Amino acid sequence: MADLEKILEQSLPLVREVGQWIQSMVNQIAIEQIQYKGKNDLVSFVDQTAEVRLKEGLAAIFSEAGFIAEESASDFSEVGDGYYWVIDPLDGTTNFLHQLPIYAVSVGLIYQKQPVLGMIYEPNRDELFYAVQGAGAHMNGLPIQVSSQPTLEKSLLATGFPYHDFSYQDKYLTLLKELMQKSHGLRRMGAAAIDLAYTACGRFEGFFEANLKPWDVAAGKIIIEEAGGKVTNFTGGPDVVFTGQIIGAGAIFEEFLGTLQMHWEN
């Protein structure tokens, strides 16, 4: 087994450095420099350059790991049981390009297709969330834990709206209607990594979203789990990195999952 704590210690400065470079590039992108990978799926040279810098730095730290990265990955079918860095160089690109200060760098390390290390850096608040399997979760050196609020009724929830695949829109809206009535409210931040980090430190009681990619969730999953929470797919199974579905929460998890399952086809 790799020395995960040593890998984390060496990787944290890199993630922070790349995040701060991203922050320095706000207002530096012209409209003609924005590209479209698909409907409402934006990218810029900032995402691409950040990914290159992360891959180069992480390869130097832990060369045994392969890569699954947003701007260069196209097929996950060949992913084996070894180590892989799972990278979203800029989660919340649309927010970034619209100068909305909600975006993050997200880097996870998976082994046997499960996250064992995660780092999420939000440069606007200079908050670096991280966790290693078995060592707890932290933010800027301080331990964090999920919310102990036991009821959905008194919880603040986070989600992500469909933005390019609208096939599940109707059942999603039905679920949102019930959650609006059963909770303190819902927030749509526009960056799954931040939703997961904020759930890990108790700002949100829970988060769910569908149609996600491995780089959206790999880091956040291990951070929530090490903060004392639970993370599954919508069927309650442990596989979230490659299924596209995630629900994570603290003490409300069972009630939250049960409410979701009433409105979602398993």
Mean pLDDT across the chain: 90
Say if CB 206 and CB 153 are below 8 A apart.
Answer: no
What are the Cα distances from residue 182, in Å, to 17, 187, 208, 260?
Answer: 41, 14, 15, 12
Averaged pLDDT for residues 144-164: 91
pLDDT of 138 over the 90 cut: yes
DSSP-derived 3-state class of residue 13: helix
Q: How confident is the model at residue 38 (pLDDT cuts 50, 70, 90)?
A: very low
* Residues across the chain: 266
- Whether residue 91 is annotated as binding a ligand: the answer is yes
Cβ atoms of residues 54 and 70 within 8 Å: no
Task: Assign domain 152-261 one CATH number from 3.40.190.80, 3.40.50.12140, 1.10.150.120, 3.50.50.60.
Answer: 3.40.190.80
User: Which helix or strand (DSSP H or E) is residue 12 part of?
Assistant: helix 4-24
| pLDDT, position 72 | 73
Tokens coding 103: 């975006």
Record the tokens describing residue 198, joined without a space.
């904020």
Answer for the pair 4, 118: CB distance below 8 angstroms, yes or no.
no
Token pair 């989600």: residue: 159
Nearest residue to 90 via CA among 80, 105, 100: 105
The answer to whether 8 is annotated as binding is no
Using the CB atoms, write b or e for 165-182: b if 16+ within 10 Å: eeeeeeebeebbeebeee
Interatomic CA distance for residues 64 and 255, integer angstroms: 40
| Strand boundaries in 11-74, DSSP class E | 35-38, 41-43, 66-69
HSE-CB at 129 with a 13 A cutoff on CA atoms is 32
Write out the two tokens for 115: 């996250």
Query: Does residue 90 have a known ligand-binding role?
Result: yes
Instruction: Report the distance separating Cα 162 and Cα 165, nearest Å.
Output: 6
Residue ranges per domain, the chain?
A: 4-137, 152-261
Q: Which residue has the tokens 């996870």?
A: 108
212: pLDDT strictly greater than 90: yes
Q: Is 70 annotated as a binding residue?
A: yes
- State pLDDT tens for residues 163-206: 655 566 788 888 999 999 999 999 999 999 999 999 999 999 99
pTM for this one?
Answer: 0.93
- In whole angstroms, what is the distance from residue 59 CA to residue 76 CA? 19
**pLDDT tens, position by position, 71-129:** 776 567 678 889 999 999 999 988 998 889 999 999 999 999 999 999 999 999 999 99
Alpha carbon 87 to chain centroid, angstroms: 10
Between these two residues, 30 and 187, which has the higher pLDDT value?
Answer: 187
Q: Beta partners for 106? A: 88, 120
- Coil, helix or strand at residue 192: helix
Distance of CA 255 to the CA centre of its chain: 22
Q: With contact defined as beta carbons under 8 Å apart, do 176 and 136 qualify?
A: no
CATH topology of domain 4-137: Fructose-1,6-Bisphosphatase; Chain A, domain 1 (3.30.540)
176 among annotated binding-site residues: no
Question: Which residues have CB under 8 Å from 31's CB, separation 6+?
Answer: none
